[in-house]
Amino acid sequence: MSEVTIYIDGQEYRVPANTNLVDVAKFYADNDIPVFCYHPKMAPVGMCRMCLVKMGSVEKNRETGEVVTDENGNPKIRWFPKLQTACTQTVYDGLAIITNSEEVQVARDDIIEFILTSHPLDCPICDKGGECPLQNLTMRHGPGQSVFYYEDKMHLDKHVPLGELIYLDRERCIQCARCTRFCDELVGDDVLAFHERGRRLQIVTISDPPFDTKFSGNTTDICPVGALTTADFRFGARPWELKEVPSLDPYGPEGANISLSTRLDRDAGGRIVIKRVMPRQNEYVNEIWISDKTRFGHHHTRSDERLTKPLIRQNGQLAEASWEEAYQVITDRLRAAKSLGVIAGPNQSNEDLWELKQLASHVENHHLGVFPATMSGGDIVNTVGVGVGTNFLDLKKGDVIVVVASDLEEEAPIWYLRTKVARDRGVKLVLLNARPTKLSKYAKYNLTYAYGDAVSAINSLISAVIGAGKINDEILSRVDGYDELAKSVKKPAYTNFTEAAEAIGDAQNMIVLAGSEGLTLAQQRELMQACANLLIVTGHVGRPNNGLIPVWHGANIQGAYDLGFTAEATEAIYQESLDVVLVAGCNPVGEVVEAEALQNANFVVVTSLFETETTAIADVVLPRQSFAERDGTFTSGERRVQRFYTAQGVIGESLPDWRIFAEIHYRLGGPKPKLSAGAVMAEINKAVPSYAEMRYKKLAEMPRQFPDVGGEDLYYGGTAYQNRGGIGQQTPTVAEDPEARLSVRPVEAMTPKFDGLVVIPTTLLYDRGVLFRRSTLMHQRIPAPHIVINPEDAEAQGITDGDTVAIVVEGHRYEVQVKIDKTLPRGAVLMPRRLSNRPDPSVPTVLESIEKIVQPVPVTEG
């Protein structure tokens, strides 16, 4: 990166070119230029005028380009007559500013005074009090005495709900437009706007439903005053009472870094509880953003419905027992087990998985399954996954992001956001899907295929790349199987992909995000291989900002694959009648119809936070701990291994899964349980080559990040952005070893032939999953069970939008609402997962029947 010389208060600094003056002053000169409207993640607007500085340019000799100096040897500077806003200034060579003169100080004092003319002084009851940029800057620049010897403030509404999640205090708003710009410019959701003008200028929500974005909570973080607060936290605690504990999003594959703000709480019986969830800065992962699911989905951690004691089935009923009794029953049964199926849930930590694997190895005939079993190919990811050091922020103009078979906004909102913002920087987005998604309008190339045909689509793309002469010849010397691959794609199913193929071939960097929508597990695995083929032959592997990212349906599916668990094993467990089944932290029986077969197992052990359909068939139920009560590591889809830390007190007698499995294993003759999760990781470091460097200490390393938004700053935002937990570490991929051979192979499309309508299971962000549904605040955002259908198909079936219908799929009957979507291809009936209290089909399945339910006329009481 090229550097330029700038002068701040007479001091010379070398700083990166094309960076923002405010960011640079803070990072390189430790000079906090105060701001309200400016935010380092958004384009500057120069509205609040708080950042006024004296600005000028160094005089240079026109011929030599040398800096002209005065008699003292200091550079001569030509100053602007008026103060200038620092936030709208990109640094250039010879830029000079003065921030400590009286003129500048007075200007700052003046602006603060103006802002305070209409800002209420209700800091004692304001949620932002204690971490408020305006409060802080008032302490520094405020006059100390008011000239308002009369009551002159404008009074406005103080509790305006912008939807059910966020409240607006119109008096406190200082019209900085950070919230509207975040929604409009970054996320792309046009949901907030200014209304009126002048002093009456105010924020309104313009969407229906109100504030309709999956990122609304972030506006409360970037709000520089207490104008926007969350329904979850408002009036809940004071910031200085809170202890920030670094943690991770327990839901998504992105590995979003969060901070759990905890305190001892009277309402929780004096226990330590999570009062709110804040983003924790990790520029590699989620920057400073989290989805509303991550922010508001934490209530399961302290739900009254949590299991507190082990349960053992006696006379058909589950009855409370001690841990020792439970261990006894389990070990007795496992000693005699003929076969064992293990199903690991989506947020089993690496330590849990490791101990689970050790335990399972006790039974010779065992399967290590992962849940949900929607996607495969973790091993492929370990070959061609994104290179170490990958950062979406580094993708530049001309680079390419490919998204295939995924509705990214619903399945991985942080990747959606980062993809969308990358596209705004000029990254070309290539979208392959059977239907339009919210990302479609940002795509440079929308390549549509028929449902189930994703592999053909990628094959066609490879064919077009070959046709355009864009194969990376350099890499072919270390690739096996290229000729067979080239031969296999000679007759592409789709012939209009040339432009996209050229963009891919010309891109310096390319990331492929591969999902699973509309695919069977076998097809999905082939899709992963097809994506690997594409990445390899175009040379987009083995280096940062290139490679494959799987859109897993869970926080640690990658870790499960890394430690030997697979979705294929889960299918086998469903299909084979196994003697013993151990389900760790998930609810297959309640979620997928195939898992009903687990009832046939002779003995079922379940670790769980709650009673579920799966615990209902268990012989022993063990209370596990949520992510908030223990520590551990998750591995994200980008293969970043990251730590989460113990935040709250233990609920009942629950234990971390790794401990449970280690105790059982110990009783079966295994080693003594480790004393900490860190000690378990030390074992993994030794046993798993790709995890050799993933030591806890290393994962906790915390380099200074740019822009510097955490910590003591007066202006950027909430203090909770600060990252004290580390930024984690990516596991290396095979492709990064220059000696390693890479193989491509032809993949078969395996496109199924269906007659009639096919139910396609899809994944929504907000569903009635076991954990998320405990956050009652979010219930309005969880849609009712429904199907989405093309209008022509609907007409043929005699149904219309809003109808309630009964559908039958593989003998299972569902009552669902009908939503019509004209963008959906004919023949496909989308059925989002986990919206009802019934298990759903997990793969595309023929719709057997659809029948309108005649609604009973509501009876009105006389």
Partner 1 sequence: MENILLRNRTIPEIGTFETYLEHGGWEAFKKAFSMSPDEVIQEVLNSNLRGRGGAGFSTGRKWSFIPKDAERKYVVVNADESEPGTFKDRELLEFNAQQVIEGAMIAAYAIQATAVYIYFRGEFWDIAHNFEQEIAKAREANLIGQNILGGDWSCEFYTHLGAGAYICGEESAMLNSLQGLLGQPRVKPPFPVMKGGGLYYEPTVVNNVETLANVPWIIVNGADAYRAIGTPESPGPKIFCLSGHIAKAGNYEIPLGTTFRELLYDLAGGPQHEGKGFKALLPSGASGPVIPLTEDMMDTPMTYESLVELGSVLGSASFIVMEEGTDMVWAAYKMAQFFKHESCGKCTPCREGTYWLNQLMTRIISGQGTMRDLEILENAATQMQGKSLCALGEFATSPILGTLKHYRAEFEAYVNGEKQKELPASKTVAVAH
136 or 719: CB nearest partner 1: 136
| Whether 67 contacts 94, CB under 8 Å | yes
| Whether 530 contacts 494, CB under 8 Å | no
Q: Which of 30, 151, 267, 739 binds partner 1 (CB under 8 A)?
A: 151
Query: Where in 639-658 is the site for partner 1 (CB under 8 A)?
Result: none
DSSP classification of residue 858: P
Query: Where in 554-573 is the site for partner 1 (CB under 8 A)?
Result: none
E strands, 392-546, in order: 400-404, 428-433, 445-448, 479-480, 510-514
CB-neighbour burial class of residue 327 (10 A; exposed 0-12, middle 13-18, buried 19+): buried
Measured between alpha carbons, how far is 767 from 773 in angstroms, rounded to an integer? 7
Measured between alpha carbons, how far is 445 from 402 in angstroms, rounded to an integer? 9
Question: Judged by CB under 8 A, does residue 86 bind partner 1?
Answer: no
Tell the smallest beta-carbon distance from residue 706 to partner 1 (Å). Answer: 23
Question: Judged by CB under 8 A, does residue 154 bind partner 1?
Answer: yes
Tell the smallest beta-carbon distance from residue 198 to partner 1 (Å). Answer: 4
Edge-to-edge strand ranges of the sheet holding 729-730? 632-635, 640-644, 729-730
Tell the smallest beta-carbon distance from residue 44 to partner 1 (Å). Answer: 7
Tell the smallest beta-carbon distance from residue 456 to partner 1 (Å). Answer: 38
171 or 663: CB nearest partner 1: 171
117 or 365: CB nearest partner 1: 117
Measured between alpha carbons, how far is 119 from 432 in angstroms, rounded to an integer? 49
37 or 563: CB nearest partner 1: 37
136 or 587: CB nearest partner 1: 136
Tell the smallest beta-carbon distance from residue 487 to partner 1 (Å). Answer: 44
The residues, any chain, with a CB within 8 Å of residue 5's CB and separated by 6 or more, are 12, 13, 14, 15, 93, 94
78 or 200: CB nearest partner 1: 200
Which residues, listed in sequence order, are joined to residue 161 by a DSSP beta bridge? 167
Binding pattern for the stretch 167-206 against partner 1, x by CB under 8 A and - elsewhere? -------xx-----------------xx-xxxxxx-----
* 611: its two tokens: 């009673």
Tell the smallest beta-carbon distance from residue 791 to partner 1 (Å). Answer: 30
Q: φ and ψ at 8, to 5 degrees?
A: -115, 120
Question: Judged by CB under 8 A, does residue 144 bind partner 1?
Answer: no
85 or 635: CB nearest partner 1: 85
| Whether 745 contacts 484, CB under 8 Å | yes
Tell the smallest beta-carbon distance from residue 195 to partner 1 (Å). Answer: 9
Question: Judged by CB under 8 A, does residue 44 bind partner 1?
Answer: yes
| Whether 533 contacts 425, CB under 8 Å | no
194 or 240: CB nearest partner 1: 194
Measured between alpha carbons, how far is 438 from 409 in angstroms, rounded to an integer? 7
Q: Which of 22, 53, 58, 83 binds partner 1 (CB under 8 A)?
A: 83
Tell the smallest beta-carbon distance from residue 22 to partner 1 (Å). Answer: 14
Query: Where in 96-115 is the site for partner 1 (CB under 8 A)?
Result: 107, 110-111, 113-115
Closest CA to 549 of 684, 292, 427, 730: 730
Binding pattern for the stretch 1-40 against partner 1, x by CB under 8 A and - elsewhere? ----------------------------------------
**DSSP codes of every residue in 439-470:** GGGG-SEEEE--TT-HHHHHHHHHHHHHHTT-
Q: Which of 25, 50, 137, 617 binds partner 1 (CB under 8 A)?
A: 50
173 or 677: CB nearest partner 1: 173
Query: Where in 52-71 is the site for partner 1 (CB under 8 A)?
Result: 52
In the numeric block, the tokens 């006790």 are attached to 362
- Could you check whether the bond before residue 783 is cis, i.e. omega within 30 degrees of 0? no
Region near partner 1 per CB under 8 A, out of 70-78, 80-88, 362-370, 695-703: 80-88
SS3 709: coil
Tell the smallest beta-carbon distance from residue 175 to partner 1 (Å). Answer: 6
Question: Judged by CB under 8 A, does residue 82 bind partner 1?
Answer: yes
191 or 824: CB nearest partner 1: 191
Q: How far is CA 582 from CA 310, 411, 570, 753, in A?
A: 15, 27, 11, 36
SS3 526: helix
Question: Judged by CB under 8 A, does residue 412 bind partner 1?
Answer: no
| Whether 267 contacts 258, CB under 8 Å | no
Q: Which of 9, 16, 68, 118 binds partner 1 (CB under 8 A)?
A: 118
Measured between alpha carbons, how far is 585 from 592 in angstroms, rounded to an integer? 15
Binding pattern for the stretch 483-522 against partner 1, x by CB under 8 A and - elsewhere? ----------------------------------------
117 or 800: CB nearest partner 1: 117
* 819: its two tokens: 């939503």
Measured between alpha carbons, how far is 695 from 65 in angstroms, rounded to an integer? 51
How many residues of this chain bind partner 1 (CB under 8 A)?
Answer: 36
Region near partner 1 per CB under 8 A, out of 145-153, 226-234, 241-249, 844-852: 145-153
Q: Which of 6, 25, 33, 47 binds partner 1 (CB under 8 A)?
A: 47
Question: Judged by CB under 8 A, does residue 117 bind partner 1?
Answer: yes
52 or 621: CB nearest partner 1: 52
Q: How far is CA 139 from CA 49, 134, 405, 551, 769, in A?
A: 18, 8, 52, 46, 46
715-748 as b/e, with b when 16 or more CB fall inside 10 Å? Answer: bbbbbbbbbebbbbbbbbbbbbeeeeebebebbe
| Whether 102 contacts 53, CB under 8 Å | no
8 or 174: CB nearest partner 1: 174
| Whether 82 contacts 38, CB under 8 Å | no
Tell the smallest beta-carbon distance from residue 712 to partner 1 (Å). Answer: 25
| Whether 247 contacts 645, CB under 8 Å | yes
| Whether 472 contacts 539, CB under 8 Å | yes
* 661: its two tokens: 């499995």
Q: Which of 152, 267, 364, 474 binds partner 1 (CB under 8 A)?
A: 152
In the numeric block, the tokens 């009062």 are attached to 275
1 or 147: CB nearest partner 1: 147
Tell the smallest beta-carbon distance from residue 7 to partner 1 (Å). Answer: 21
119 or 665: CB nearest partner 1: 119
Contacting residues toward partner 1, per CB under 8 A: 44-50, 52, 82-83, 85, 88, 107, 110-111, 113-115, 117-118, 147, 149-152, 154, 174-175, 193-194, 196-201
